[in-house]
C-alpha cells in the first residue's frame, strides 16, 4: 500500500527524511502512527525533493529448536549455545603398544586384498582365513587385558567424549553455561536433555578430540568455576525434579595456583556435601578415567556405573609408582595393586555395574557404546524411581558407608568365617603367540648385545621371561590334558597322590603303574592336541633361554672368579719375602752372565727350581683357602692328556665313518646276504655254506678297508702314531726341555671347579 503526502515547499526546505519522521507537525502527517508508516510505502513530492521508504519484512526466529541447523546431528543442536560440533571426518587411527601384533595381521589382509585387485585372482579363502585369525587374536587380546592396558585404552585419543555420548543418546539437548560468577569453565559441560521422552539434567567432564580442543577444554581438568557451575545445575535439577546423570572422564581437578586461590578444595567439598542431600535420583557413569576428588566431585551417586575399559582411582598408576617405587616405570605394577578397573571395583562394591564395550574399545564403535549407556541409564533410573525420597537418600548414604569396611590383621569371627564366600583364585590367561614372539625377539636382541657389555639387565629380563614361559607352558599343558580328555583321570590321580603323601607312606606300586600309564597316554595323544604347536614353540623357547641363562651365569661367575684369583696371586707375589728372594735370584742370574738357561750352572738351576716350587705351594695354599681343588700339573701330564683326547676324538670319528659305510646301499646288501646265509646254515653249516659265509665276510672286510684307506682318517691315524712314538722316546717339543730344564719344573696349577668348570 502506498500513499502520497504533500505540503508546502516552505515546510520541507532544509529538512531531511529523519526530521520529517521525528516530528508529525513539521511534516504535516498528524494522526498517522509510525507503525502505519512502517507498513506503508509513502512519498513526499515537492518541486525539488522526493523521499521514499520501504519497511523490510523480518523472518520469524525459530526458537528454541531450529529445524535442522546441523545435518550431521539427528534432532538438531543449538550450535550457538555449544562450542562442540561433531567431526565430519573420522579421526586418524592410533595404535597402542600392546595392539602392535594386530597391526601385522591387518597389514597382511590389506596386502592380500591389494594383490587380489591387481591380479584379478581369487584370494577370498586366504582373506577369510586371515580375517578369522585377526578376529580371534583381537578377542584373545581384549578379553584378557591387564590393568595398565585398560588405563591406556581409557586414555585413548579417539575415545568418545561426554558430548559424543550425549548427542548419541538424547533426542534433544540444550547446554547451560556459567556459574553466575563471571566464568564458564569449558572442562565441565552441563545441560538438559531428553531420553525416550524423559527429561534429565546431564553434566560431565569434557575432553578434547585433538590438541586444539584439549587446550580449550584444559584436558578435561576443571577449575573451581566448573564445579560451581555443576553445583548450580544440581540445585536447578533438584528444584524442578530432574534426575541427574553425570559422566566422569578426568585425570583430576586442575591444581594450579589460581585454582587453589579460588578455592578448589572448598568447591569440591561443597559439591560432595550437596550431592548427598539432593532429593532426585543420581547416576554416575565413568566413561574414561576418573581421577581423585576431581572425579568424585560429581560422582556421589546412588549408582556408579563404569564402561568396561574405564578406570577409577585415587592416584594415577604413574603417580603411585613414583611415590612407592621412585620410578614411573613401575606403573604396570602399581595399576595391578591399586585395583582400579571395573571388574575389581565391582568386587569391592565401589562400582555397581559394568557397561560393555565393543572389541577394540569404545572408539571402535562409539554409537554402539552410546546405546549401551542409554540402555543402562534407562534400567537404572527405572529402579531408582521406584524409591521415595527418604529411601533414595538412605540408599545413597548406605552405598558410601559400606565402602572401606576392611581391617588388616584382625582375625575373623569363626562363626562368621564359616558362611564367608571362598576366595576366588585369579583367572590365569595365556599370552597370545604373536605378542610372545615379539617379546622373544626383543629379548634375543638384548642377549646378543649383552655379549659385549654388562649382562646384569639381560639376566633380569631372562629370569622374567623364563618364569613367564613356565607359567605359559603349565597353562598349555592343562589345555592339552583337557583337549585329550584326561583331565578327570589326572585330578583323581592327584587326589590319590596327595592322600598317599599326607599319610607319609611310600608310593604304592599300583599307583606308580597308574602314573606311568597316564604319562604314556598323554605323550601319545599330545601331538593331536589343538595347542600342540604353541606348546612346542614355548618349550623350545624355554630350553633356548635356559641355556642362554646358564651361559651368562657361567660367564659372570668365571669373570668374578678370575678377578678374585688374579687378586690373590698378586697378593702372593707382592709379599716382601717373595720379592726379596726374586730380587736375589735375579741378581745371581745377572752375576753369572748366562744368556740362556743352558748356560746356567747347576746351583743356579736348583735355586730357580726351588723358587718355582715354593711359589707354586704358596699359590696352591691360597687357592685352597678359596674352597678350590688345586692340582699341580706337569708338562708331561698335559701332553699325555692332550694325546688321550686326540685318540678319543679319532676313535669317535672312525666309528662314525664305519657306521656310515655300514648304512650305504652296497655294503648293506652284502650284510643282508651274509645274514641270510648264516640263517640258512644254522648251527651246523656244511662246507659249501662255510665257504660262502667266509667269502662274504672277506668281501665286507675288503670294502671297509678300501673305504678307510681312501679317507683322511688313515692320515690322521698315522700322524697320531708318530706323535705317540715321539712322546714315548721323550722328545717333547718344548724349548725349556730341549735346553735341559728338568721336566718336573715345567708345571702349572690347575683348579677344578666341578664337572662343568675349570680354571687354569
Task: Tell me, yes or no, whether 718 lies in a domain.
Answer: no
With cut-offs at 50, 70 and 90, classify the pLDDT of residue 428. Answer: low
Mean pLDDT lowest for which of 90-99, 543-552, 595-604, 629-638?
629-638
> Does one domain contain both 261 and 372?
yes
From residue 556, give the alpha-carbon distance in Å to each of 336, 456, 655: 34, 9, 38
* Same domain, yes or no: 379 and 292: yes
657 found inside a domain? yes
Q: Which pLDDT score, from 0 to 100, does residue 79 have? A: 45
Overall average pLDDT of the 452-478 stretch: 77
- What pTM was estimated for this model as a whole? 0.47
| Torsion sign over Cα 74, 78, 83, 88 | positive
Q: What local confidence, expressed as pLDDT, does residue 425 receive? A: 57
Confidence (pLDDT) at 630: 64
Q: What is the pLDDT of residue 738?
A: 40
Q: Which one has a higher pLDDT value, 53 or 270?
A: 270
**Is the model more confident about 29 or about 446?**
446
Give 318's pLDDT tier (boundaries 50, 70, 90).
very high
pLDDT band at 406 (very low <50, low <70, confident <90, very high): low
For residues 628 and 646, membership in a common domain is answered with no
- Residue, of 392 and 570, whose pLDDT is higher: 392
pLDDT number for residue 103 = 82
- Tell me: pLDDT of 736 over 60: no
Give the lowest-confidence range in 3-17, 97-111, 217-231, 587-601: 3-17
- 59-73, 214-228, 476-490, 550-564: which has the minimum mean pLDDT? 59-73
Given a contact cutoff of 8 angstroms between Cβ atoms, the answer to whether 459 and 552 are in contact is yes
Round the average pLDDT of the chain to a whole number and report it.
Answer: 76
Q: Does an H or E element contain 250, and which?
A: strand 244-250
**pLDDT value at 107 more than 50:** yes
What pLDDT, on the 0 to 100 scale, is given for residue 756?
38
* 621 and 678 in a common domain: no
In this structure, of 292-301, 385-394, 461-470, the range with the lowest mean pLDDT score is 461-470
Say which residue, 200 or 7, is predicted with more confidence: 200
The winner for highest mean pLDDT among 280-284, 473-477, 622-626 is: 280-284
Top pLDDT among 130 and 275 is at 275
570 occurs within a structural domain:
no
Do 355 and 446 lie in one domain? The reply is: no
Residue 272 has pLDDT above 90, yes or no: yes
Please tell me the predicted confidence (pLDDT) of residue 457.
61
| 20 has pLDDT over 50 | no
What pLDDT does 87 receive? 74
> What's the pLDDT score for residue 591?
73
* Confidence label for 401 from pLDDT (cuts 50, 70 and 90): confident
pLDDT at residue 69, as a whole number: 47
- The whole-number pLDDT of residue 46 equals 46
pLDDT at 33 over 60: no
Please state, for a pLDDT cut of 70, what percent of the chain lies above it.
73
pLDDT tens-digit readout, 644-669: 667 777 777 777 777 777 766 667 77
- Give Cα separations from 412 to 238, 403, 409, 421 (angstroms): 43, 18, 9, 13
**In this predicted structure, which of 29-38, 393-402, 404-413, 683-692 has the lowest mean pLDDT?**
29-38
Would you state the pLDDT for residue 532? 84
Which pLDDT band holds residue 288 (cuts at 50, 70, 90)? Answer: very high
- Are both 390 and 486 inside the same structural domain? no
Q: Is residue 558 part of a domain?
A: no
> Is 192 or 129 the better-scoring residue by pLDDT?
192
Whether 171 and 298 share a structural domain: yes
How confident is the model at residue 95, as a pLDDT? Answer: 83
- In-domain check, residue 470: yes
The pLDDT value given to residue 759: 36
647 or 232, which is more confident: 232
pLDDT reported for residue 420: 53
Indicate whether 4 pLDDT > 70.
Answer: no
State how far the Cα of 25 lies from the Cα of 542, in Å rounded to an integer. Answer: 109
Average pLDDT of the residues in 294-321 = 93
Cis before 64 (ω within 30): yes
What value does the mean pLDDT take over residues 631-654?
A: 64
Average pLDDT over residues 398-409: 75
- What's the CA gap between 392 and 349, in Å, rounded? 18
Question: How many folded domains does the chain comprise?
Answer: 5
- For residue 49, pLDDT over 60 is answered with no
Cβ neighbours for 493, distance < 8 A, ≥ 6 positions apart: 511, 514, 515, 518
Same domain, 474 and 541: yes
Q: Could you tell me if 133 and 165 lie in one domain? A: no
| Exposure class string for 378-399: b at 16+ Cβ within 10 A, else e | eebbeebeeeeeeebbeebeeb
Whether residue 466 contacts residue 546, with contact meaning beta carbons closer than 8 Å, is answered with: yes
Look at residue 359 and tell me whether its pLDDT is greater than 60.
yes
Pick the more confident residue, 453 or 500: 500
**pLDDT for 96 beyond 90:** no
Tell me how many degrees the CA angle 9-40-28 measures, rounded to the nearest 5.
30
Instruction: Name the residue range of residue 135's domain.
Output: 99-144
Distance CA 362, CA 345 (A): 20
Judgement on whether residues 652 and 549 belong to the same structural domain of the protein: no
pLDDT tens digit sequence for 157-169: 999 999 999 999 9
Write the DSSP symbol of residue 757: -
> Domain ends where: 81, 109, 144?
144
> For position 365, which CATH number holds?
3.90.226.10
Residues 166, 203 share a domain: yes
Above 80 in pLDDT, residue 725? no
**Residue 266 clears pLDDT 90, i.e. is over it:** yes
The residue that leads in pLDDT, 727 or 62, is 727
Q: Is 596 within a domain?
A: no
Mark whether 329 and 444 lie in a shared domain.
no
- What integer pLDDT is reported at residue 551 of this predicted model? 79
pLDDT at 114 over 50: yes
- Is 1 among the domain residues? no
pLDDT higher than 70, residue 274: yes
Q: Is 613 exposed, middle or buried (0-12, 13-18, 19+ CB in 10 A)?
A: middle
Whether 151 maps to a domain, the answer reads no
Rg (CA), the chain: 47
Mean pLDDT in residue range 627-655: 65
How confident is the model at residue 516, as a pLDDT?
Answer: 82
Q: What CA–CA distance (Å, rounded) separates 196 from 516?
A: 67
Higher pLDDT, 119 or 315: 315
Amino acid at each position: 500500500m502506498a500513499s502520497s503526502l504533500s505540503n508546502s515547499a516552505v515546510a520541507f526546505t532544509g529538512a531531511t527524511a529523519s526530521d520529517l519522521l521525528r516530528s508529525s507537525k513539521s511534516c504535516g502527517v498528524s494522526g498517522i502512527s509510525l507503525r502505519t508508516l512502517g507498513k506503508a510505502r509513502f512519498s513526499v513530492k515537492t518541486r525539488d525533493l522526493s523521499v521514499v521508504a520501504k519497511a523490510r519484512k523480518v523472518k520469524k526466529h525459530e526458537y528454541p529448536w531450529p529445524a535442522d541447523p546441523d545435518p550431521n546431528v539427528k534432532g538438531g543442536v543449538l550450535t550457538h549455545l555449544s562450542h562442540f560440533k561433531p567431526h565430519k571426518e573420522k579421526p586418524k587411527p592410533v595404535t597402542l603398544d600392546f595392539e602392535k601384533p594386530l597391526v601385522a595381521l591387518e597389514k597382511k589382509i590389506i596386502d592380500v586384498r591389494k594383490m587380489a585387485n591387481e591380479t584379478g585372482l581369487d584370494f577370498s579363502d586366504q582373506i577369510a582365513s586371515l580375517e578369522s585369525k585377526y578376529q580371534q587374536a583381537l578377542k584373545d587380546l581384549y578379553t584378557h587385558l591387564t590393568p595398565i592396558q585398560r588405563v591406556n585404552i581409557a586414555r585413548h585419543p579417539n575415545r568418545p567424549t561426554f558430548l559424543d555420548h550425549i548427542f548419541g543418546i538424547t533426542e534433544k539437548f540444550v547446554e547451560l553455561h556459567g556459574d553466575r560468577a563471571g566464568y564458564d569453565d569449558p572442562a565441565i559441560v552441563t545441560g538438559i536433555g531428553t531420553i525416550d521422552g524423559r527429561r534429565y539434567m546431564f553434566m560431565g567432564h569434557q575432553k578434547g578430540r585433538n590438541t586444539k580442543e584439549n587446550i580449550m577444554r584444559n584436558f578435561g581438568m576443571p577449575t573451581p568455576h566448573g564445579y560451581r557451575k555443576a553445583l548450580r545445575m544440581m540445585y536447578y535439577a533438584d528444584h524442578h525434579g530432574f534426575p541427574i546423570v553425570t559422566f566422569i572422564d578426568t585425570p583430576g581437578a586442575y591444581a594450579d595456583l589460581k585454582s587453589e586461590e579460588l578455592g578448589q578444595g572448598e568447591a569440591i567439598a561443597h559439591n560432595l556435601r550437596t550431592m548427598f542431600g539432593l532429593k532426585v535420583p543420581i547416576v554416575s557413569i565413568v566413561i574414561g578415567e576418573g581421577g581423585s576428588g576431581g572425579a568424585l566431585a560429581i560422582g556421589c551417586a546412588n549408582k556408579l556405573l563404569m564402561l568396561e575399559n574405564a578406570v577409577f582411582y585415587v592416584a594415577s598408576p604413574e603417580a603411585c609408582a613414583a611415590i612407592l617405587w621412585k620410578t614411573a616405570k613401575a606403573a604396570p605394577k602399581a595399576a595391578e595393586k591399586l585395583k582400579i578397573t571395573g571388574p575389581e571395583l565391582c568386587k569391592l562394591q565401589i562400582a555397581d555395574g559394568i557397561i560393555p564395550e565393543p572389541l577394540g574399545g569404545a572408539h571402535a564403535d562409539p554409537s554402539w557404546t552410546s546405546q549401551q549407556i542409554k540402555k543402562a541409564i534407562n534400567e537404572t533410573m527405572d529402579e531408582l524411581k521406584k524409591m521415595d525420597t527418604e529411601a533414595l537418600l538412605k540408599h545413597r548414604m548406605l552405598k558410601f558407608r559400606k565402602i572401606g569396611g576392611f581391617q588388616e590383621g584382625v582375625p575373623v569371627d569363626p562363626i562368621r568365617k564359616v558362611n564367608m564366600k571362598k576366595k576366588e583364585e585369579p583367572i590365569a590367561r595365556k599370552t597370545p603367540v604373536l605378542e610372545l614372539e615379539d617379546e622373544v625377539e626383543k629379548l634375543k636382541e638384548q642377549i646378543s648385545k649383552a655379549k659385549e657389555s654388562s649382562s646384569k639387565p639381560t639376566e633380569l629380563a631372562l629370569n622374567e621371561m623364563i618364569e613367564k614361559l613356565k607359567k605359559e607352558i603349565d597353562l598349555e599343558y592343562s589345555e592339552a590334558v583337557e583337549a585329550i580328555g584326561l583331565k578327570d583321570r589326572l585330578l583323581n590321580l592327584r587326589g590319590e597322590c596327595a592322600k598317599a603323601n599326607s599319610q607319609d607312606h611310600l608310593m604304592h606300586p599300583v599307583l606308580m603303574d597308574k602314573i606311568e600309564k597316564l604319562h604314556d597316554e598323554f605323550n601319545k595323544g599330545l601331538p593331536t592336541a589343538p595347542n600342540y604347536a604353541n606348546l612346542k614353540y614355548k618349550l623350545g623357547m624355554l630350553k633356548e633361554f635356559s641355556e642362554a641363562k646358564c651361559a651368562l651365569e657361567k660367564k659372570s661367575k668365571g669373570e668374578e672368579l678370575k678377578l678374585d684369583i688374579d687378586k690373590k696371586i698378586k697378593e702372593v707375589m707382592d709379599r716382601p719375602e717373595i720379592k726379596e728372594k726374586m730380587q736375589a735370584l735375579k741378581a745371581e742370574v745377572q752375576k753369572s752372565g748366562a744368556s740362556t738357561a743352558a748356560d746356567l750352572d747347576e746351583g743356579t738351576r736348583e735355586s730357580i727350581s726351588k723358587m718355582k716350587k715354593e711359589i707354586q705351594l704358596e699359590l696352591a695354599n691360597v687357592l685352597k683357602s678359596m674352597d678350590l681343588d688345586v692340582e699341580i700339573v706337569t708338562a708331561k701330564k698335559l701332553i699325555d692328556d692332550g694325546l688321550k683326547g686326540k685318540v678319543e676324538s679319532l676313535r669317535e670319528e672312525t666309528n662314525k665313518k664305519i657306521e656310515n659305510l655300514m648304512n650305504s646301499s652296497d655294503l648293506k646288501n652284502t650284510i643282508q646276504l651274509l645274514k641270510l646265509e648264516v640263517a640258512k646254515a644254522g648251527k651246523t653249516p656244511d662246507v659249501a655254506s662255510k665257504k660262502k659265509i667266509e667269502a662274504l665276510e672277506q668281501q665286507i672286510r675288503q670294502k671297509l678297508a678300501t673305504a678307510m684307506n681312501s679317507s683322511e682318517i688313515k692320515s690322521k691315524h698315522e700322524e697320531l702314531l708318530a706323535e705317540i712314538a715321539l712322546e714315548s722316546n721323550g722328545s717333547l717339543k718344548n724349548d725349556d726341555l730341549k735346553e735341559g730344564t728338568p721336566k718336573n719344573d715345567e708345571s702349572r696349577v690347575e683348579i677344578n671347579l666341578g664337572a662343568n668348570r675349570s680354571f687354569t
